[in-house]
Structure 1
């Protein structure tokens, strides 16, 4: 039996439900980290960002134990909903999920036409020689800000200022991420499997990202036939938060071409 998503996952949405669907996939920081993407795309599409099972206090079914499982579950939901030409936009591990969905769709004739384009924003998941993924789970709050933000002071969250509830959610999110993404946040088979992706793909990286570097992003893009790569200046791992206008300036033209 294929992994399946809970029916009641909290979801951020914007735009006309009758428009083209953009499935926005968040990273370890949770759905609030992709809220600006949902808001921006909602002007021209139906943008939807579900909370991954196990994040923000939601339940994670036992059959979702890896990124491959999560990708398969999202792909199955798109098939069940009769979707066509969906744009996948993923940030960090969300980028990994998006790429894995595209790989799985390319291998399944039932999925022909379901996914129309992919945008991977500072995605992890691949193993690139000489460009390791940072050891996220070993970083404290200051170290995470230094690695993930062009302006670390802007990204730093003092743990002492968190409420007990916020701290509990943060810890729970971390446990879920470790369970499905693994300590290395990578799959050694992914880079080679990217060659099967046959839809328009854009890889976007902040120039100051030290979770995964722009060189890592270029290697991922090079592994996907015809993929484009764009670097966002003065931004780190979350360019849509740190430099939104510059991020839209590379995403919007790609989406116009990928219609």
Structure 2
């Protein structure tokens, strides 16, 4: 089922609300849009309630001019968890969604989030490893220009927050960071530094995968996620 969140006048956010179960899983997409995490939604829906919003500005959704920062997304999705009275929430986030998830975890004063899974996330500034936006080969289809414009609005010119890595030390919930071995957007060394910022994080590399391991190597990626959550 897809419904519309309206947290503020003029701000409509499409939300997939599917599955059933005691656990709530919040799925946050990356620059490729909601289709890029459809497999994650499908994986969890048989045994959990899955909430998967479309960030304003993606997939043709309007983005008000005043809604322009990663913090806007993080606060809005924390409000969603509050409004749904969701507890013991697992957040699974890809790429740009990983940045939003990290900001949520830093700001989660209501302790709604219990576990965090980041798939090749961006967000912190890591020395020597700038974010390299993907460039499709000539003639190949690339990301939707409107989606990329939305990403740059939220992420800023550097596509990173130099303060985020230090803030992660206050995140006490267990985190799993999974990285594609061949990621050219943010390499595994970036991911290892990202994981090192958390108080309690595990870092795993998936061989043969790039920036979206849940698409390129779903078997190994979901095995890692399921094992991590089984220890909860």
TM-score (norm 1): 0.82
| TM-score scaled by length of structure 2 | 0.91
1:39 is displaced (CA, Å) by 0.4
Count of residues paired in the alignment? 226
Task: Tell me how large the CA RMSD over aligned residues is.
Answer: 2.0
Residues 108-257 of structure 1 correspond to what in structure 2 (within 5 A)? 108=109, 111-112=110-111, 114-134=112-132, 136=133, 139-142=134-137, 158-159=140-141, 170-257=144-231
Q: Which whole-Å CA distance do the structure 2 matches of 1:80 and 1:10 have between them? A: 16
Contact 2:180 2:188 in 1 (8 A): yes
Unaligned residue ranges in structure 2 (runs of 5+): 1-5
Q: Deviations over 1:77-108 (max 9, x none)?
A: 11122111111111000011101100011xx3
Aligned to 1:74: 77
RCO (CA 8 Å, sep 6+): is it higher in 1 or 2?
A: 1
Between the aligned partners of 1:4 and 1:62, the Cα distance in structure 2 is: 15
- Please list every run of 5 or more consecutive structure 1 residues that lacks an aligned counterpart in the other structure: 144-156
Higher strand share: 2
Distance 2:31 2:80 in 1: 21
Higher helix share: 1
Within the candidate set 12, 16, 21, 1:12 is matched to: 16
Q: Distance in 1 between matches of 2:105 and 2:27?
A: 14
Residue range with higher mean Cα deviation, 27-36 or 59-68: 59-68
**Post-superposition shift, 1:13?**
4.2
SS in 1 for 2:177: strand
The alpha carbon displacement at 1:219 in A equals: 0.7
